[in-house]
Amino acid sequence: MKKIFKLCIYFLFFILFLLIFLPKESIYNLLEQKLSQQNIIISDEKRNEKLLSLDIKNANVFYNEVKGVNIRDINFFSLLVYSKVEVNDVKLLESLSSFFPPFIKNIELKHSVLDYQNINISSLGDFGLLNGKIDLLNRVLILNLDPSSEMKRKYIKVLKNMKLKEGRYNYEYRF
């Protein structure tokens, strides 16, 4: 019985040290490299690695060498069996505000081993309330939007690309 208890304690310490010494910045650099293959560049950010998370401050996002978005804060948190990415205060450039509302208060992505197939998405911004998921096995992005009055009034072209169902707008994209 003592050996089993000792083994469990060693295993828990191994997992704890693995989480603490996980190379968070290297994983982030790999993410940046994958995004750059899609012509998406994140620059001018300040990184702060913490015990179980990585904070990114004041990131500028470029697409095809054109600045499109400024993000005040991104937090990557992982416990191996549960991961969360939280993005706060996203501002689109003025030139993009004619296509989509310019301010997103937060975006949250969550993934758990218990629901390994899906990454859950929730967001709040000038556009309203957005919920959805990324189905990793079927390679489908599904978004459900409860639009704000501003979204319904100024951005009707975006809403026309979505299906209206029970007062919510749905969007599905296969990748």
Cβ burial, residue 126 (10 Å; 0-12/13-18/19+)? middle
Predicted confidence (pLDDT) per residue in 91-111, tens digit: 998 878 888 899 999 999 999
- Predicted confidence band at 2 (pLDDT cuts at 50, 70, 90)? confident
Residues paired with 41 in a beta bridge: 62
Report the DSSP beta bridge partners of residue 171: 143
Residue 79 pLDDT > 90, yes or no? no
Residue 80 has pLDDT above 90, yes or no: no
Rounded average pLDDT over 80-97:
90
Q: Are 62 and 41 in contact (CB under 8 A)?
A: yes
Q: Residue 5: which pLDDT band, with cuts at 50, 70 and 90? A: confident
Task: Tell me the pTM.
Answer: 0.83
pLDDT in tens, 43-52: 999 999 988 8
Kindly tell me the burial class for residue 55, based on how many C-beta atoms sit within 10 Å of its own C-beta (0-12, 13-18, 19 or more).
Answer: middle
For residue 109, the model assigns a pLDDT of 97
In the predicted model, what is the mean pLDDT of residues 62-78?
A: 92
pLDDT of residue 14: 86
For residue 19, pLDDT over 80 is answered with no
For a pLDDT cut of 70, what percent of the chain falls above it? 100
Strand pairing class (66-78; 103-112): unpaired
Whether residue 87 contacts residue 69, with contact meaning beta carbons closer than 8 Å, is answered with no
The CA distance from 37 to 15, in Å, is: 33
Question: What is the SS3 assignment for 117?
Answer: strand
pLDDT of residue 24: 87
Would you place residue 139 in the very low, low, confident or very high pLDDT band (cuts 50, 70, 90)?
very high
Domain boundaries, the chain: 24-77, 79-88+101-175
Burial class (CB in 10 A: 0-12, 13-18, 19+), 39: exposed
What's the pLDDT at 21? 79
